[in-house]
Structure formats: C-alpha cells, structure tokens
Amino acid sequence: MTSNPALAVNTRPWTDPDAKPFISIRNITKRFGDFTAVNDVSLDIYRSELFCLLGGSGCGKSTLLRMLSGFETPTSGKILIDGQDMAGVPADRRPTNMMFQSYALFPHMSVEKNVAYGLLREGKSKAEAAERAAEMLKLVKLESFARRKPHQLSGGQRQRVALARALAKQPKVLLLDEPLGALDKKLREETQFELINIQETLGVTFIVVTHDQDEAMTLATRIGVMTEGVITQVGEPREIYETPKSRFVADFIGSVNLFEGRVGPSAPDLMRVETEDLGPVSVPPVPGLTQGQTVWLAMRPERVWLTREPKEGAVNTVPGIVRDMGYVGHMSSYLVRLANGRQVRVTQANESRRDNPISWDESVHLSFEPADFRVLTQ
Amino acid sequence: MSGASATPGRGRLALPPAMIAAPLVVIALMLGRHWLFLPEDLVLLIGAALLFAFGGFVLGRLVGLPDRWIVIAVPMLWLVVFFLVPFFVLGRISLAETMIARPPYSPLWERGDDGGIEIIASLENYRFLLSDALYVNAYLSSLKIAAISTLFALLIGYPIAYYIARSPEPRRSILLLLVILPFWTSFLLRVYAWIGFLRRDGVINNLLTWAGIIDEPLVMMQTDFAVYIGIVYTYLPFMILPLYANLVKLDGALLEAASDLGASPVTTFLTVTLPLSVPGIVAGSMLVFIPAIGEYVIPALLGGPDTLMIGRTLWDEFFSARDWPVASAVAIVMLVLVVLPIMWLQSVQNRQEAQE
C-alpha cells in the first residue's frame, strides 16, 4: 500500500483541518428571476474525491454542477478549482469535463470520433487523438465498438462512451449528472463499481449529482445532501446515515421513524425524553439541551427489536399490533400500530428460515436500544 | 372480395350504401346549382372530387383490394388522371411533328400507301433542343439562376431559422407566423409590389437619392438581379420552414457537450450544428431549387429581355411559335431535370431515416 504514493497520503483529507481543498465553492448563489436555485452554498472538495451531491428534483444540485462546468454563471460567490478562480472562464476553457445525463453523444460521429472530439479541440494531432481515444475505449471495454454510431449501441454502452469521452481530456474534475439514471437496476449496480474502479485507477476528482440515495451511498467518499438550494449536511455515507443532523436528512437517506418529544430530567448516563407515541424514553444524554425543549427521536426501522414477548432487560418497550407486513426475501418489513394509533416501521432480516414468522394482526412488542436513537433538534 | 370479406371488428367499407349515396350527392349538387346558385366551377370541382372518390372506391372494391389500399387508391387515381396521363400526352406530343392542323401536331399513326399502319414518332424535337444553343442556354441559365437563388435563400434563411429555433416559446410562434404571413397575399401581388421597390423611380432609388448616396437612379428592374431578389424573396419561407423544423429538434445538450469538450462557439457550429442540420438544408434547398428552375412569373415580371429561363422559353414555344411538339419536348426535359433532384432528396431522406 505504501508503494502507491497516491494511497500513502491521507485518504480522508476532510478530517484534516490543514488539508487544502481542490475545489472550493464559496458562498455561491444562483437566482433565476425570483427563484433562488442555489442559496449561499459553500463547499470544499478534495483531490481524488468521489463527491456526491444528493437531493430531490429541483433542489439545485444540477444548477450547482452547471456552475462548476461553466454553463451557468453564479449570481454571487466564487468557485476555485485547483486554486484558480473560475469567474469569467467559459465552459470550453475550464479544466472540467461533464458526463451528461442524456449522454449527449454526437449522433453523426462514430464512437471513436466522439471520444476524440475533445482531444482534437485542444490541438492534438489526429493520430495522437485516435491513439488516446483507443486507450479510453479500452478502459471502458468498448474497443470493438469504435466504428459504431451511438444509435447502434445499447444504453449501457452509450453510458460508457460518454464516460470515455469525458475522461479523454484528463480533466482535473469530472462532473457526472445522474450518470446511472438511464440504466436499469441490475446494470446500474454493476456500473457503480466499474465507475469506482475507473475513478480510483485514474485518480480524477469526481463530482456526481444524483437523486438516488443508494447510488450516492455506494459511490461516494462523501455526500452533500441538498434541499431547496442549500446543502444541509456533508459527510461520509456512514456519518450521514448514522448521525443525520436534521429530520430532513434522516428521512431522506433511508427510512426512519421520527418521534416528537420533550426533554425530561437527565441522569449522567441516560436522558429521558417524554414522547406522546412511546411514553417516556431513555436515550443517551445530549449536551446543550435544556429541559422542556422539543426534540425529535430518529429510529431506523432495522434497529427496532420486534418480539412476541417483551424483550428481557430492554429499557424502552412498547406493545403494538402488526397492521401490515411485506416479505422482500432477504428481509421483511412490518408496520406496527401502537396503542395511540401511531404506526411504526420495522424491518427484520430473514437470516434463517423461520418456521413461525411474525404475521398480520399479531400482538407484538417493540424494543429500542437507547444508543440507537438519534436526538434531533431541527 | 374473396377471403377478406366481412370479418367483424375489421369493418369493411360497405359498397351498397356508397352506391345509394353517390346519386344522392349528384342530385344534391344539381339542386344546389339551381336553387342555391352555387358557382358552376365549384359544383364541377366537388363533383369531380366525389366522382374520383367513388370511382376509386368501386374500382378498388371490384378488384378486391383491402380497405387501406382503397384509401390510397382515391388519391392515386387522382394523380394518375391529372398528372401521369397528361405527362404521357405531353410525351406523345413531343414525339410528333408540328403541323398546321387542329391540334397542331401530327397524329400518332397513319395508314400507309400499302394499307399498313405507320407509327409517326421521332426524337427529332429532342435533337433540335440539343442542336439549338438557345434551349441549352435556357436550361443552363435556369439551373444557374435556381442554384444561385437557392444559395442566397440558404444564406439568408439559415440564420433566421436558427434564431427562431433558439427563441423562447411564445416568441417562436410569433416569428414563425411572420415567416408564413406573406402567403396570405397572392404571390403575384407580392411580385408586383417588388416592381414598386425596384423601378427607376421606385422606393429604393428615391430613398437612396434622398439620402444623397446616389445621384443617378440605379437600374434594377429588368435585370437578373431583380429576378434573384424575386425568387429569393418568394421562396425564402420554403427554405426557413424545413430548416427550422430541423434546428428546433437539435438537442441543446449536444451544444453544451461540444463546449464542455473545448469547442469554441464557431467550432461547435461547424462540427455539431451544421452537420446535424444537413437534412434540413437539403430539404429547404430542394423546395427552393425545384420550383425556381421552372419559374415563369418572376422572370417575366422582373427580368429583362435577356433573362433566359426555361419557363419563359416554354411559354414562347407554346403560345408565340405555336410549336407544340418542341414545347412538349422542352417540358419533358425540364420535368426530368426536376425529377432527378427530387429522387436524390428522397434517397437522402431515406438514408437519414434509416440512420435514426
């Protein structure tokens, strides 16, 4: 590992406060008329990162990407790439390349010519460009398709041509707009790992825009969750999932049960939260909370214990009735109704062939480990 | 009418109701003529159209064609009677000799002295066309004028079409309407209007003299220049519309992709926009070039005595010289000259479609 200098350095530069960001987005705002698409976003991205901007449609993630590529001009704020201010630099002179959601392959050119297009534009000779194009096509395993036109390729092949074309100029940053959006599920999963491999081989900084949280979780070194023009949380996939900072992020990434409550008396190792749905609940103490403050408790469905008898030694337990159940194969998901009518989502891994799985209308008990609660204030 | 008859669900057009309906329509037309004072031409036109529809229908039914063929058979019959048959009539006249008779050409056959039938047909008229420089020059000059006009229509029409295609939606519709607007006035009137602009004491000369740019009025009327202006002006919408239809389909992401890969706006245009708009260029150019070859009215009104175009030669031959056979030969050659580019256009379009 140490023989590879790229890996010898810190692979998580964002944990190092002295690390120099490769791309620095500072207080970027973009307005279209009255509509603010991107609102005062600041973000640092490091060299060789695979950064995912994750958000629903209209959250501003694509606009942010288009400002990086130079297709949109920020209303205010600054973008630095490798220390260079991008203000006034047109798209055709930026050290970025983009892979378009629609791939935007030139329909009148062969695969080979598509890949060589950018190289010819930077003044490479035809022979040089052809050689480099062949190299790129080999990287994406499309050598034998060089002479074909885009319409003679399958969706997955086109996606790889688009990738090869965007990478051919060795950009400092590759921007990918929903790179896997047009592929079917199976192909998407295969391509995700291929994309990671290529990124790791070339060491190019990738910024991926996606609305698909699974895709973001699989691909990203870090994720930036966007909503309404604002990045609400930036972090590694695990961090985003395990310690979301807000109800929005908790709900957006994966599935979650949220219980509203008030902070009660707190002991040194446990804090009480009075909730309407679960009654008093014990959670690990959170510093900085005042008694009586409204908080939300986030609980992932897979962390809930679902048992027929009350779980022994459990601190937080409530009874309920199974209202609905779905068998997915590797797991089953349940909807359990509590005494006050509140429905709680629970999933259970089907680790073995159970003879007598919990089913509809059974009386059950839900138990919650205090440490599995995430206390949210916003 | 054998196996395909009366399968439920696939409705056959019923013959008996049509046979009842046809005389009723004829009676209605006759009554309309007498009581509603419908103009005679209108009655004849509607009658002819109905007759064709009915005739095509009955014929198709008798031959046992499937219904979708019958639907095509009606316009087909129309084309055969009004285009193909006259074409053959023209072809036959072009092979005859001119005669002082009525009609003024020799019959197709004659009883010879020995009682046998002699067919009188020769390619003499075509040889005459080739031997006389007037005709060859007229053809070449027509092709030249049509080609130059097409080029200018393209140079003017492309930017307009591009601009319209790139405009936001509400403005785009208005601009398109403006392109089509001149069609609301008769073509003849619009060409006459140009005389008012181009003549010696016309708008342009008056304006330039008033501005002090020229002392002597420019001679524009009765020159080839005026013919070019007339043709380009008249056929410009035919260039703009197909180009617009092509350019509006152009995916903006392709232009962004080119720019992203380092192409300047000019390079983007030359390497992406222009090659992708070739079908539009071809279609627009054909729509201008083909009618321009045979143009008669514009050179007659705006051109001078030495503006040589085949449409005019044709007119002279038919009406001044009353040499129908030579005139027919001129027309046939012109048709061939026009049909070849159309066939080429068709093959280009087919290739394009096969590619998409």
* B183-196 pLDDT, tens digit each: 888 889 999 999 99
Say how far apart CA B239 and CA B153 lie, in whole Å: 7
Q: Residue B296 falls within a domain, yes or no?
A: yes
Same domain? B141 vs B270: yes
Same domain? B134 vs B29: no
Same domain? B72 vs B160: no
Whole-model pTM: value is 0.78
Say how far apart CA A263 and CA A287 lie, in whole Å: 12
B149 vs B307 pLDDT, higher one: B149
Report the alpha-carbon angle A283-A289-A293, nearest 5: 90
Q: Residue B19 falls within a domain, yes or no?
A: yes
Instruction: Evaluate if residue B153 carries a pLDDT over 90.
Output: yes
Say how far apart CA B57 and CA B74 lie, in whole Å: 7
**Structure tokens that stand for A15 in this block:** 């944990």
Name the nearest CA neighbour of A345 among A277, A256, A261, A259: A256
Same domain? B73 vs B193: no
DSSP state letter for A373 = -
* A71-124 pLDDT, tens digit each: 999 999 999 999 999 998 999 999 999 999 999 999 999 999 999 999 999 999
Q: Residue B9 falls within a domain, yes or no?
A: no
Q: Residue B118 falls within a domain, yes or no?
A: no
* B250-306 pLDDT, tens digit each: 999 999 999 999 999 999 999 999 999 998 998 899 899 988 988 888 998 998 888
The CB-side HSE value for B26 (13 A sphere, CA atoms) comes to 10
Same domain? B349 vs B310: yes
| Contact state of A92 with B356 under an 8 Å Cβ cutoff | no
Instruction: Evaluate if residue A338 carries a pLDDT over 50.
Output: yes
Set of chain A residues whose Cβ sits within 8 Å of the Cβ of B271: 117
Q: What is the pLDDT of residue B237?
A: 94
The minimum CA-CA distance between A240 and chain B, rounded to whole Å, is 32
Q: What is the pLDDT of residue A176?
A: 94
Same domain? B38 vs B130: no
Domain count, chain B: 2
pLDDT more than 70, % of chain B = 92
* B199-221 pLDDT, tens digit each: 888 888 899 998 888 888 888 88
Q: What is the pLDDT of residue B356?
A: 59
Tell me the residues of B at the A interface, defined by beta carbons under 8 Å apart: 251, 253-254, 256-264, 267, 271-272, 275-276, 355-356
For chain A, give every domain's residue range: 18-251, 255-376
| Residue B125, C-beta contacts closer than 8 angstroms, at least 6 positions apart | B94, B95, B325, B326, B328, B329
**Structure tokens that stand for A191 in this block:** 């391509």
Q: Which of B94, B113, B137 is the last residue of a domain?
A: B94
Residue pair A278/A316 in contact (Cβ under 8 Å)? The answer is yes
Say how far apart CA A238 and CA A243 lie, in whole Å: 8
Q: How many helices, marked H, and strands, marked E, lie in chain B? A: 17, 2
Full residue range of the structural domain in which residue B196 is found? 124-355
Residue pair A348/A306 in contact (Cβ under 8 Å)? The answer is yes
Report the residue of chain A nearest B355, measured CA to CA: A151
| Contact state of B259 with A91 under an 8 Å Cβ cutoff | yes
Instruction: Evaluate if residue B25 carries a pLDDT over 80.
Output: no
Identify which of B260, B264, B276 has the shortest CB distance to residue A69.
Answer: B260
Instruction: Evaluate if residue A276 carries a pLDDT over 90.
Output: no
Say how far apart CA A308 and CA A160 lie, in whole Å: 51
Q: Please compute the mean of the pLDDT values over residues A200-225 and round it to a whole number.
A: 91
The CATH number given to whatever domain includes residue B165 is 1.10.3720.10
Q: How far is CA B148 from CA B152, B215, B225, B226, B279, in A?
A: 6, 30, 11, 13, 19
Same domain? B25 vs B88: yes
* A169-184 pLDDT, tens digit each: 989 999 999 998 878 8
Set of chain A residues whose Cβ sits within 8 Å of the Cβ of B277: none
Testing the interface with B: which of A71, A109, A121 to mutate, by most B Cβ within 10 A?
A121
Instruction: Evaluate if residue B344 carries a pLDDT over 50.
Output: yes
Q: Please compute the mean of the pLDDT values over residues B62-79 and round it to a whole number.
A: 77
The minimum CA-CA distance between B262 and chain A, rounded to whole Å, is 4
Other C-beta atoms lying within 10 Å of the C-beta of residue A69:
21
Q: What is the pLDDT of residue B14?
A: 61
Q: How far is CA A29 from CA A60, A76, A128, A175, B329, in A?
A: 10, 5, 41, 19, 73
Name the nearest CA neighbour of B295 among B241, B234, B223: B234
Show the DSSP H helices in B40-118 as ranges: 40-63, 67-79, 85-94
Other C-beta atoms lying within 10 Å of the C-beta of residue B5:
8
A 168-207 → B contacts, CB under 8 A: 169
| Contact state of A104 with B263 under an 8 Å Cβ cutoff | no
Q: Residue B249 falls within a domain, yes or no?
A: yes
Q: Please compute the mean of the pLDDT values over residues B28-37 and round it to a whole number.
A: 73
Global ipTM: 0.82
Q: What is the pLDDT of residue B18?
A: 63
Decide yes or no: CATH 3.30.70.20 for domain A18-251: no
* B105-150 pLDDT, tens digit each: 887 777 777 777 777 778 888 998 888 888 889 999 999 999 999 9
Q: What is the pLDDT of residue B16?
A: 64
The minimum CA-CA distance between A172 and chain B, rounded to whole Å, is 13
Name the nearest CA neighbour of A38 among A13, A10, A65: A65
CB pairs under 8 A between A and B: 61
Same domain? B220 vs B151: yes
pLDDT more than 90, % of chain A = 57
A61 vs B114 pLDDT, higher one: A61
Instruction: Evaluate if residue A23 carries a pLDDT over 90.
Output: yes
Set of chain B residues whose Cβ sits within 8 Å of the Cβ of A104: 251, 253-254, 256-257
Quick one: which H or E segment has residue A194? Answer: helix A185-202
Instruction: Evaluate if residue A376 carries a pLDDT over 80.
Output: yes
Torsion of CA B334, B335, B338, B341, to 10 degrees: -120
The minimum CA-CA distance between A177 and chain B, rounded to whole Å, is 12
Say how far apart CA A120 and CA A240 lie, in whole Å: 42
Q: Residue B331 falls within a domain, yes or no?
A: yes
Q: What is the pLDDT of residue B4?
A: 42
Mean pLDDT of the residues in chain B:
84
| Contact state of A102 with B275 under an 8 Å Cβ cutoff | no
Q: Thinking of the domain A255-376, which architecture would CATH place it in?
A: Beta Barrel (2.40)
Same domain? B166 vs B81: no
* A232-244 pLDDT, tens digit each: 999 999 999 999 9
Instruction: Evaluate if residue A353 carries a pLDDT over 80.
Output: no
Same domain? B192 vs B270: yes
Residue pair A335/A343 in contact (Cβ under 8 Å)? The answer is yes
Other C-beta atoms lying within 10 Å of the C-beta of residue B347:
10
Q: What is the pLDDT of residue B122?
A: 83
Judged by a CB distance cut-off of 8 A, whether residue A97 touches chain B is: yes
Report the residue of chain A nearest B259, measured CA to CA: A92
- pLDDT band for A8, please (50, 70, 90 cuts): very low
| Contact state of A107 with B271 under an 8 Å Cβ cutoff | no
Query: If phi over 0 gives left and psi between -120 and 50 gives alpha, with beta otherwise, what is residue A90?
Result: beta
**Structure tokens that stand for A36 in this block:** 């603010």
